[in-house]
Amino acid sequence: MVEASTIISIVITVVILGIIGFLAYRRFAQSRSYQGRYPGVGKQRSTTPEGEPLEDPRSSYSSGRNPGVRNVIRIAIPAIIAIIVIVVIVASSVKIVEAGNRGVLTSFGAVDTSVSLDEGLHFVTPFRDNVVSIEVRTQKTVETAASASKDLQDVRTEVALNYHIDPVNAQILYQQLGFEYSSRVIVPAIQESVKQVTARFNAEELITKRETVKSEIEQQIKQRLANYNIVVETISITEFKFSEQFTRAVEAKVEAEQRALQAENDLRRIQIEAQQAEAKAVGDQKSNIARAEGLKQANVLEAEGEAEAIRIIDEQLRANPNYLEWLKTQRWDGKLPLVLGEGGTPFIQIPTEDAEEQP
């Protein structure tokens, strides 16, 4: 937004310069006119070797010159001067702030800390004010810091920092640091923050607790740069580099841990296989016992059944002697049995092996 005082200053400057130009031209024109009317004033006239005065060629040219052309020249010269003055004034009063930048307004070199000019076109007081553009986009810087860990191991940490200048207070940063703010505050802040944080952790913890280390470094850098109106967006630890001795020691430790882990896994596998074999043996034993118990119960049940059958037959024989005759008829196969008798009572003789061998 253009202030009214700025416009008034531009108009006054244009008017003053126009008046000065006009007076200077008028003075020059009067001087030329005076010399035309009095050619001998202020200069020595030329003469021939014989002493005769020579005719001034400018006088002859002036006497024959067209008055209309002279009037045009008198009008054109002030117009050209006025145009040049206006162009110079406009060029001095119009300032453009490019995209991604903020304008710092200075008056005779002094920074106006009350305003930060946005992107676009701005009018300032010519020959007094100037606008310095300062970038407020996201910028990146990569810095390597050498430090020592808690267990006195040398470590080199590479940190990538993304940041931007606070647009509202860009003029204050320019007043305090100028354009070299990165080397003046950002690099020292990274170096000091990395040294402070890495000194709190062992070399091994710098790797295993990488996220914690990063958070603490970021917090330290934010606090330091906030005082200079620099906003930290993100940081990234791109590399931890240790000494060769420490690297070899870590590799040996990792290999030993891997071997121990493999041995532990083998022992666990053997234990599991033994448990599986034991479980299988117990299962087979229980299965055999169950099978024997089942066979035993089957034999008992079969014996009990036969005993019960004999008991029933005995009861039937006692209750009914003719039951035996019924059984004989049930077992007769239709052939004439061998009949013997004692007291005239026939019975079925079950053939023996000796009887089968006889013809």
Question: Which tens digit of pLDDT belongs to each residue from 284-315?
Answer: 888 888 787 778 778 777 777 777 777 777 77
Determine the Cα–Cα distance for residues 300 and 314; give it in Å rounded to an integer.
Answer: 21
- Convert the pLDDT of each residue in 114-159 to its tens digit: 888 998 888 888 888 889 999 999 999 999 888 888 888 888 889 9
- Together in a domain, 116 and 173: no
Tally of helices (H runs) and strands (E runs) in the chain: 11, 10
Q: Which of 185, 189, 191, 188 is closest to 156 using CA atoms?
A: 191
Statement: the pTM of the whole predicted model exceeds 0.85:
no
Q: Which domain holds residue 203?
A: 139-242
Using pLDDT thresholds of 50, 70 and 90, give the confidence band for residue 194.
Answer: very high
Classify residue 184 by its DSSP letter: I
Q: Which of 186, 96, 175 is closest to 139 using CA atoms?
A: 186
Number of domains into which the chain is organized? 2
Distances (CA, A) of 21 to 17, 46, 88: 6, 34, 13
- Together in a domain, 128 and 158: no
Determine the Cα–Cα distance for residues 291 and 194; give it in Å rounded to an integer.
Answer: 76
First CA to last CA distance, the chain: 147
- Whether 114 is in a domain gets the answer yes
Determine the Cα–Cα distance for residues 164 and 85; give it in Å rounded to an integer.
Answer: 40
- Together in a domain, 33 and 91: yes
- Whether 284 is in a domain gets the answer no
- Whether 144 is in a domain gets the answer yes
Classify residue 1 by its DSSP letter: -
Q: Which of 237, 243, 278 is closest to 154 using CA atoms?
A: 243
Q: Cα angle vertex 313, ends 309, 315, to 5°?
A: 115
Residues 220 and 193: beta-carbon distance below 8 Å: yes
Of 227, 242, 257, which one is at a domain's C-terminal end? 242
CATH number at residue 143: 3.30.479.30
- Whether 348 is in a domain gets the answer no
